[in-house]
Amino acid sequence: MSGSPAEREIRDYAAVRLRQMIPGARIIHELVVGGCRADLAAVTEERVTLVEIKSERDTLKRLPEQVRQFSRAAHEVIVIAHARWFDTTPYDNGTPRFVPGKELADGVKTACVWGYPEIADRYPHGAWSMQKWWSARPEPHAARLLELCWKAELLAECSRYRIAASSRTAMMTLIRDMAWHMTGAEITRAVCRQLRMREFPEADAPIVERIAA
């Protein structure tokens, strides 16, 4: 598994906390999303949360593109950044400050930001909590969400939803036809189902959906 020891420390801690905050989610390490790779994914039956980690040894050069790619394919994007990327200069009245520094803020305009080490709730930024405004976020782009799946997974869902397809059908055609014939809810559940079942080099145990009698 790639990543520096500094990033691994944050990732291991984050995986534990995500299991606590999103009960029932399958935690996956390193999920390919477009031309990027999310450090963590938390996948429930109807929601994909993608996480990018920036340790004190990282740079933020690629962060804007990572967040852009992830935001199109996920219901929630979280950036977990080491405290070095935050402005900790106290306010003029002496009140503690813990807000994203300019470089971090410029890269996370459509993401939720958490600070590491985990910060007490009194700070306006950096506290670890799932967003209450989830329902106000737009749904992921159907094609970008479907692109999280492998071809065999898309074919399995085409069979489930009786969409004509074969092993010779191109990926772009599969995605186009699925986006046309399936509802947004069906697409989300299909992608989540496949990600929860897939074998990964590092992830929670696969979760196979029970088939109704």
Count other Cβ atoms within 10 Å, centred on residue 32: 10
pLDDT at residue 70 is higher than 90: yes
pLDDT band at 213 (very low <50, low <70, confident <90, very high): very low
Mean pLDDT computed over every residue of the chain = 89
Contact (CB, 8 A) for 196 and 210: no
pLDDT tens digits, 122-168: 555 667 887 655 555 667 899 999 999 999 999 999 999 999 999 99
Non-local CB neighbours of 26 within 8 Å, separated by 6+ positions: 42, 43, 44, 195, 196, 203, 204, 206, 207
Q: Is the model's pLDDT at 174 over the cut of 90? A: yes
The arithmetic mean of pLDDT across residues 84-96, rounded, is: 85
Q: Is 76 helix (H, G, I), strand (E, B) or coil?
A: strand
Q: Which domains does the chain have, with CATH numbers?
A: 5-136 (3.40.1350), 142-197 (no CATH)
Say which residue, 20 or 90, is predicted with more confidence: 20
Confidence label for 35 from pLDDT (cuts 50, 70 and 90): confident
User: Two tokens at 70?
Assistant: 């992830």
Q: What's this model's pTM, rounded to 2 decimal places? A: 0.91
Residues in the chain: 213
pLDDT at 119 over 70: yes
Return the pLDDT at 29: 97
Bridge pairing between strands 112-116 and 76-82: parallel
